[in-house]
Amino acid sequence: MDLIRISILILFLIFCYFYLVRCFILVIQPQKKRIVYFLVLVFMFLLNTGFWGSRYFRWQGHLPNYFYYLEWLSYTCLGLMLFLLICFFIADLFFILNKMIYFFKRKSFLEQEIKKNKIHSSRRSFLHMISVGCASILSGIAFYNARKTPEVKKVFVPILNLHPDLKDFNIVQLTDFHIGQTIGLSYVHSVIERVNSLNPDIIVITGDLVDGFVHQIKDWVTPLSTLKAKYGIFYVTGNHEYYWDAAGWIQFMQSIGCVYLGNSNKTIPIGNANVVIAGLTDLSAVKFNENEKTDYIKSTENASVKSDLKILLAHQPNSAFEAAKLNFYDLQISGHTHGGQMWPMTWMIHFIQYFRPGLTLHEKMWVYVSRGTGYWGPPSRLGSDSEITHILFKQV
């Protein structure tokens, strides 16, 4: 399966190269096509450096120090390429629709087309020039959205017969932080400051915390030990931890004071109420370690069904399909999808993922899907802002 995906990706990149060449030739001059072929080739090489280089060094078990700067350059180029493809495609679509209208309006289409070929070429070139400008502007906006400190998103979860001692109980969720690559210490500190200002009872970290090895980026993750929560910080793994030595990250997170909940739970007394916080290993964990397979039944062991509030931490929202069958949990807190991160994926994600960003009732269990605290790949967010989720509960 991995080989099939890589093959499809390579074919897509080849298509992108020739499509960008063709579009830029229209923007510049056909006489300079050799320069265009070369410059686009350099551009494609740079944007591929981050992704393929990171896969190679991951196998080696160490990322060179200089690679951090290459990742910045590579993923920034990747974001620009995606916007260029979108804008060029819209320009071509507009041009094709225009020609179709022209065809149906004029019977002598072929004769007129020959005469007006130069005019059409000029219009097409103009549209692609506008596309380059639009792509640059969108890239700038998306970069700003990705790099700013995430806003706090308040979410009120309705709970039937909510215990009076839980009326002020609140949880802060961090997920899909992706520390490493282009997210470093300054971004981490800004998130910590905002989280601590909320005075949460519990902080939950629902996976994809990192993109790097413990021995290389632990200094960027260590400040999470300064997060303040009255009843503790709870952590589960996402699929990305398994790319970068999940066992090492689990041990490290425990060393800085986080409680790891891999197919396990903990009961927390809050006044006269009891709250169960449980967690699952990521759905993809079994591919890396058979002992890490998601175990829904095990996550409920020794937890009382009579507890006043039962919360499940699961990186992927699709865990809810099996979790809901237990008829045990009141709420599942997840991430993973990033809400699509960038338009038009913010629309397409609805066809790929059953659970949309936000709060959804699935059978008798609420499922909250965060858009993520950071981002992955391009430092770009458009149409799906990062968030620090502040979850509160209300009586129904």
Contacts of 369 (CB under 8 A, 6+ apart): 317, 334, 335, 336, 337, 339, 355, 356, 357, 358, 360
Q: Which residues pair with 273 in a beta bridge?
A: 270
Q: What local confidence, expressed as pLDDT, does residue 146 receive? A: 95
Q: Which secondary-structure segment (H or E) carries 253?
A: helix 246-255
10 Å CB burial of residue 69 (0-12, 13-18, 19+) is exposed
Dmax (CA) for the chain in angstroms is 85
pLDDT at 232: 95
CA separation for the pair 189, 260 (Å, rounded):
22
Q: Which residue has the tokens 């309705």?
A: 158
CA distance 213 to 222: 13
Query: What would the two tokens of residue 290 be?
Result: 């058979």
pLDDT per residue, tens digit, the chain (396 aa), is 467 878 888 899 999 999 898 888 877 766 678 888 899 999 999 989 888 888 888 877 778 888 888 999 999 999 999 999 999 999 888 877 766 766 666 555 445 554 555 445 666 778 888 889 999 999 999 999 999 999 999 999 999 999 999 999 999 999 999 999 899 999 999 999 999 999 999 999 999 999 999 999 999 999 999 999 999 999 999 999 999 999 999 999 999 999 999 999 999 999 999 999 999 999 999 999 888 999 999 999 998 888 999 999 999 999 999 999 999 999 999 999 999 999 888 888 888 889 999 999 999 999 999 999 999 999 999 999 999 999 999 988
pLDDT of residue 260: 97
Reference 224, options 69, 339, 374, 393; nearest CA is 374
- The amino acid occupying position 275 is V
For the chain, the C-alpha Rg in angstroms (whole number) is 25
